C-alpha cells in the first residue's frame, strides 16, 4: 500500500516540515498545547494561505487539540472551558483545511462516577459544530480514563452513539498508548474496529516503558518496548493515515517514517 504518513511538527510551516521529512502529511498544534487560550495560526499568510498552500503541495493537515481539554470532567471549571476550546480548534482546523482534530479521551478522579464522564462526552458531541471530523484518541494512563482500555472505549462509544453529529466522530489509535495502556497490539485493530466501526488515524510510536505501565512516553522505532513487526502490522491492518509523534526532529522522524514505509509495505 502507499502509506500516507508524516509527523507531529512545529506549527510555523507544516508544509516545509512535511517536505523535509519526505512526508505527505503534518500534524500540528494551533497555539500553545498547554493553554486554554484560543487557537493561533502562525503560518505566514494566515489560515487561508495555509489551506491553499497545503492543498497545492499535496500535504494533508491534522490538528491536535490542546492537552488540558477534558470534556469528560465533572468539574465545571475544566469541562466547560474545554468544550469551548475544542470548538474553537475544530473551527480553526476547518479554516486551514485540516482533515481532522485529534483530542484525548480524558479522565475522571478515581472515586468519580465514570458513567457521568461518558455522558458528558455525549453532551459535548451534541453541542459541537463539527466542521471537520473529531478523532478521539486512546490514552495510556489513568485508572478512571475514558479511553485507556477497550471496555471503557466501548462505553464511550455507546454513550456518544445517541449524540447529534456522531457520524463526524472518529478514532485515533496510538500504538504507544495502547501498549502502555494494557491493550495487546496483536488484536487491538480488530477489537477497536468492532467497537467504533472505524480507525481514522494512527499515531505510530514506540514506547519507552513496559506493557500496561500507564506511562505516556514515546520513543523512536526500535528503541522501546514495542515489537517492530507488531507495530508495522497495526499500521497495515488499520489502513489509515499515520502520524509519527517520535523524538529527534527532522532526522529522527525521517528515519522512523522511512522504516515504517518499508516495514508496513
Query: Residue 159: is its pLDDT beyond 90?
Result: yes
When pLDDT is averaged across residues 164-182 and rounded to a whole number, the result is 97
Query: Residue 1: is its pLDDT beyond 80?
Result: no
When pLDDT is averaged across residues 17-44 and rounded to a whole number, the result is 97
When pLDDT is averaged across residues 170-187 and rounded to a whole number, the result is 98
- Let me know how long the chain is: 265
When pLDDT is averaged across residues 156-182 and rounded to a whole number, the result is 97
pTM for this prediction: 0.98
High-pLDDT (> 90) share of the chain, %: 98
Q: Are 237 and 3 in contact (CB under 8 A)?
A: no
Query: Residue 14: is its pLDDT beyond 70?
Result: yes
In tens, the pLDDT along 106-127 reads 999 999 999 999 999 999 999 9
Domains and CATH numbers, the chain: 5-264 (3.20.20.150)
Query: Residue 194: is its pLDDT beyond 90?
Result: yes
Query: Residue 11: is its pLDDT beyond 90?
Result: yes
When pLDDT is averaged across residues 164-170 and rounded to a whole number, the result is 96
Amino acid at each position: 500500500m502507499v502509506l500516507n504518513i508524516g509527523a507531529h511538527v512545529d506549527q510555523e510551516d507544516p508544509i516545509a516540515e512535511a517536505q523535509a521529512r519526505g512526508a505527505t502529511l503534518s500534524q500540528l498544534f494551533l497555539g500553545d498545547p498547554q493553554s486554554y487560550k484560543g487557537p493561533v495560526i502562525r503560518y505566514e499568510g494566515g489560515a487561508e494561505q495555509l489551506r491553499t498552500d497545503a492543498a497545492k503541495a499535496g500535504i494533508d493537515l491534522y490538528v491536535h487539540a490542546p492537552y488540558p481539554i477534558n470534556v469528560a470532567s465533572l468539574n465545571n471549571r475544566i469541562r466547560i472551558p474545554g468544550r469551548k476550546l475544542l470548538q474553537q480548534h475544530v473551527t480553526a482546523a476547518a479554516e486551514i483545511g485540516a482533515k481532522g482534530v485529534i483530542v484525548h479521551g480524558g479522565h475522571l478522579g478515581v472515586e468519580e462516577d465514570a458513567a457521568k464522564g461518558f455522558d458528558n462526552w455525549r453532551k459535548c458531541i451534541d453541542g459541537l459544530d463539527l466542521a471537520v471530523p473529531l478523532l478521539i484518541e486512546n490514552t495510556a494512563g489513568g485508572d478512571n480514563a475514558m479511553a485507556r482500555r477497550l471496555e471503557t472505549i466501548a462505553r464511550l462509544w455507546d454513550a456518544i452513539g445517541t449524540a447529534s453529529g456522531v457520524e463526524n466522530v472518529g478514532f485515533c489509535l496510538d500504538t504507544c498508548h495502547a501498549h502502555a495502556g494494557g491493550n495487546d497490539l496483536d488484536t487491538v485493530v480488530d477489537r477497536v474496529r468492532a467497537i467504533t466501526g472505524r480507525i481514522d488515524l494512527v499515531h505510530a510510536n514506540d514506547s519507552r516503558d513496559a506493557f500496561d505501565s500507564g506511562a505516556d512516553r514515546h520513543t523512536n522505532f526500535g528503541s522501546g518496548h514495542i515489537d517492530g513487526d507488531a507495530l508495522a502490522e497495526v499500521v497495515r491492518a488499520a489502513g489509515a493515515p499515520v502520524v509519527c509523534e517520535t523524538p529527534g526532529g527532522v532526522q529522527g522522524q525521517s528515519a522512523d517514517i522511512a522504516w515504517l514505509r518499508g516495514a508496513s509495505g
